[in-house]
Structure formats: structure tokens, C-alpha cells
């Protein structure tokens, strides 16, 4: 089934060239199907690049999915045309009375910024609280995972001395859990963060199910018992060259970063990197959409519990 996106969104051309079935809103409204409704809160500076990455992940599903784009920082963007933001993105006030099957909150380049200094922190808190009664399942990515743990569990920010950057082995810790169904016992995933997610800390301070972890990177994937909050501390949506672009960017600004680990062939940055995590990235998003969104969500989204009570699978 296709992924349903706004007319003329740049991602349409990108995904079509990759033989991914996309459907514009104009065509979709003529079908008598209720698509899954997913809201994407995009906090990344290069919004079009992030749209392409995440829409690609969402497309690997038999479900028809309608995607709305959300921004909460109205400052001028250095990396995304203002016309793109005005045409395709909603402000929170425009969607706060609506209901969604899924919400994705992306990472953000705020790894060394205290939460109290994040200019839109109050809005993040508002949206996470709103999602309890207006969204079936929320997926927190990278920095958003750290923010979600603070808001929902009161966990203070933990920061590494050095940035974690590279591709790491992870252990599947719960092979019969729906979110990791089909995962190999050991799989690869990329990380790019200062945030620290120790396994024992999350086990002691939260009720989350820890589904995958790494000796080097800590917790990679965790979910609330009812599946309505899912935390991914890495970047399964990244393209093969995304870590390379970040590495070059950090070199250019004089940060003197360490070369991403386990990323370049022969550990030589002159060798083009290869994606070794793509299959598990697609599987993670497909499992989330199926088991934590589609299998839980009511047909009429307005019946979502106003009190945020758990939904259960039939």
C-alpha cells in the first residue's frame, strides 16, 4: 500500500525514483480507506533530508499512511527554505484538536544543551502530554528519547564525555516482543549523540521494556509496557552517507571529532561508507506501525482515551 503525503512535497520525487509507491492527498481522498494518521514533529535543521529518510522508513508497510508535518520552532531556518516550511508544515495550534495513530519526534542537535535552555522545551512538554490522549503510540528518536525520558520519567540528562558516533552491534534482548519480531540476535545500528542511556539506569528508574542494547552504546530500543511510548536512541533512518556528512561538518567547524567507529571500510574515511543497518531499520518501523499503531488504534480516533489509559491488543 502507498504512503500518503502532501501534493508537491519534494520527498514524492525522491521516493518515486526508488520505486516506492507514494500517493498524493488529491488522489488518496478518492479512496474509501481510512489511512493510518502519523504526525512527524521534525526538529532536525535539514528538514527535507529528514523527511526523505523517515518517509522512506514509513513506506515499507502494507498500510496506507497519511503523514502530517509539524514544527514548533518558528525562527528563520538556515537549512530549509521558508517557502517549504510555510507550505508543508503545521503549527501545533493547527493540529492540537486532531487525533493521530502515531507520532514521531525526531532527534535534534541539542546534545550539549540543558533542557532548561532549549528554546522550545515548554512546547515539547506540551506535545508529549497532549500525545497521551491524542496519539495511539509515540516514537522518540535520539535526542527526543532523552527528552521523553525526562518528561515521562523524570530522568535527568546524562551526557558522555565524547560524542558517540558510528555503527555498533546490538543484542536483541526480547526476540518474542512484537517490536523486534524478525530481528537477528545481533544487529547493527548507527548512533550520533552525546546522550548516555545506561541499561541499568533505565531498568532501575523506569518500567520500560528494554528490547535491544549494546555494550558500547547502551540502550538502543525500549518501550512502555502498553506500547504507547517507544524510545530509539540511535538513527535507524540514516542514509549510508549521513554520518560521513556529520563527520565532515564537525571537522570543518574545528571540533576535531573522532572518526565514526565501524563505519568506513577498512576504517579509512576516504572509502565510501556502506549502510549495514538498512534492513533492521525498515523492520523496526514496520513493526512499530503494525504492532504498536495499527493493532492498537481504534477505527475512530476520537475514541482515544482522554485520560491516557492503556490500549490493549485484540
Distance CA 105, CA 91 (A): 14
Clarify whether 125 is annotated catalytic: no
Distance CA 233, CA 218 (A): 9
Is 163 annotated in a binding site? The answer is yes
SS (H, E, C) 204-252: HHCCCEEEEEECCCEEEEEECCCCCEEEECCCCCCCCCHHHHHHHHHHH
Is 224 annotated in a binding site? The answer is no
Point out the catalytic residue in the list 170, 235, 280, 292. Answer: 235
Distance CA 97, CA 89 (A): 16
Clarify whether 235 is annotated catalytic: yes
Point out the catalytic residue in the list 49, 51, 142, 282. Answer: 142
Point out the catalytic residue in the list 191, 237, 282, 292. Answer: 237
Alpha helix (H) residue ranges in 89-120: 92-95
Record the cell numbers describing residue 231, joined without a space. 524510545
Is 192 annotated in a binding site? The answer is yes
Q: Which of 7, 64, 9 is nearest to 38 (CA)?
A: 64
Clarify whether 116 is annotated catalytic: no
Residue 70 zone, left/alpha/beta (φ > 0; ψ -120 to 50; rest): beta
- Please enumerate, by residue number, every residue annotated as part of a binding site: 163, 192, 249
Binding residues for substrate: 163, 192, 249
- The residues carrying an active-site annotation are 142, 235, 237
Amino acid at each position: 500500500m502507498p504512503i500518503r503525503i502532501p501534493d508537491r512535497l519534494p520527498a514524492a520525487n525522491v521516493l518515486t525514483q526508488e520505486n516506492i509507491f507514494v500517493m498524493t492527498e488529491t488522489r488518496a481522498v478518492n479512496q474509501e480507506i481510512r489511512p493510518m494518521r502519523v504526525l512527524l514533529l521534525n526538529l532536525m535543521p535539514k528538514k527535507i533530508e529528514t523527511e526523505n529518510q523517515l518517509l522512506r522508513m514509513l513506506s515499507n508497510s502494507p498500510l496506507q499512511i497519511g503523514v502530517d508535518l509539524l514544527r514548533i520552532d518558528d525562527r528563520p531556518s538556515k537549512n530549509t527554505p521558508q517557502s517549504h516550511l510555510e507550505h508543508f508544515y503545521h503549527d501545533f495550534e493547527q493540529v492540537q484538536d486532531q487525533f493521530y495513530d502515531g507520532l514521531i519526534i525526531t532527534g535534534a542537535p541539542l546534545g550539549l544543551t540543558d533542557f532548561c535552555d532549549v528554546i522550545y522545551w515548554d512546547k515539547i512538554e506540551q506535545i508529549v502530554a497532549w500525545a497521551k490522549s491524542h496519539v495511539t503510540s509515540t516514537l522518540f528518536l535520539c535526542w527526543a528519547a532523552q527528552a521523553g525520558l525526562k518528561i515521562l520519567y523524570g530522568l535527568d540528562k546524562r551526557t558522555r564525555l565524547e560524542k558517540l558516533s558510528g555503527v555498533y552491534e546490538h543484542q536483541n534482548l526480547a526476540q518474542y516482543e512484537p517490536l523486534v519480531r524478525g530481528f537477528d540476535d545481533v544487529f547493527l545500528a548507527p548512533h550520533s549523540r552525546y546522550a548516555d542511556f545506561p541499561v541499568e539506569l533505565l531498568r532501575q528508574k523506569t518500567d520500560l521494556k528494554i528490547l535491544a542494547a549494546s555494550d558500547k552504546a547502551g540502550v538502543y530500543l525500549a518501550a512502555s509496557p502498553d506500547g504507547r511510548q517507544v524510545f530509539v536512541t540511535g538513527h535507524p533512518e540514516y542514509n549510508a552517507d549521513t554520518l560521513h556528512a556529520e563527520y565532515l561538518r564537525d571537522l570543518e567547524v574545528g571540533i576535531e571529532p573522532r572518526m565514526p567507529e565501524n563505519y568506513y571500510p577498512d576504517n579509512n574515511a576516504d572509502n565510501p561508507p556502506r549502510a549495514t543497518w538498512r534492513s533492521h531499520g525498515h523492520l523496526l518501523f514496520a513493526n512499530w506501525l503494525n504492532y504498536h499503531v495499527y493493532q492498537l488504534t481504534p477505527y475512530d480516533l476520537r475514541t482515544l482515551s482522554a485520560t491516557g489509559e492503556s490500549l490493549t491488543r485484540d
